[in-house]
Every structure is written in C-alpha cells, then in structure tokens.
Amino acid sequence: MGTTNTINVTACDNQLLICATQSGLSYAIVDLNSGFGNPVDATINIVAGAYQGGYYGNNVNGGSLPPGTVALPAGTYDLTCIGIDWGGPFQITFTVNGVQYGSSTSSYPPVEDIGVLWSTGTTPITITVS
C-alpha cells in the first residue's frame, strides 16, 4: 500500500496556490481562496494515481471546506507554494505532513502590496508519492 501525504490549510487570506513539480513538469494541486477573517480548515490528501486535477476550495463567503484527495503519478515532488493578497489583512498557514509553513503572522500590508506576498522561495518542501 502506498503512502499518503497530507496538506492541512488553517489560514488563507486571500489565496494559496500549490504546485507539485518534477524536472520538466508540474501539477496544480491546491487553489484555495478565503478572506474576511473566515476560519479555514481544509485537508488535502495526496495519493498515488493518475492526475485528474487539483483541489479547489472557495471560502470567501464563509462556510466549511470539504476534504479533498489529489492523485499524482508515483515519484518525488517539490512543492512550490504561493500566497496572494487581494488587499487588507494577509495570512497563509498550512502544514505538509505535520510540518508548518506560511507567513509568520497575520499582517495588514499597505494597499500597494496587493499580489504575491509570500512564497516558499528557497525553502524546499519535498514529498514522495508511492
């Protein structure tokens, strides 16, 4: 039986994009939108299989987000993660297999700071799907 990798998003103001990449290809695995201080608790399991698309969650108007499963072909992937702010408060917090990543605290950037405010940059996040 294969391994399951788990991403759990606990703060998303406003958008979190995650791609799983290998040499020469990438898969969009998470596109999560939220804001207005809405609580977020989204769990996405990554399993071995044929890629059928990523997890899309929209929590902008509140409510709960269903758990999701994303299949990727077996292999080792680097995760590229991007936090986008649409204006107002900004915070991204999530775990990958229990290790926390994201912006350090909630912030209220100036209006001109709309756009990509956080990314994994040179921090490697690697998962193995089997």
Q: What is the pLDDT of residues 31-77, one digit of tens each?
A: 999 988 899 999 999 999 999 999 999 999 988 899 999 999 999 99
Q: What predicted TM-score, i.e. pTM, was given to this entire model? A: 0.91
Residue 129 is assigned to a structural domain of this protein: no
Q: For residue 109, what pLDDT is reported?
A: 61
Three-state DSSP string of 17-45: EEEEEECCEEEEEEEEEECCCCCCCEEEE
The Cα 75–Cα 14 span in angstroms is 30
**H helix or E strand, kind and range, residue 120:** none
* Cβ–Cβ under 8 Å, residues 20 and 77: yes
How many structural domains is the chain composed of? 1
Instruction: Classify 49 as helix, strand or coil.
Output: coil
Do the domain assignments include residue 103?
Answer: yes
Question: Domain limits at 100?
Answer: 5-123
- The verdict on residue 130 lying in a domain is no
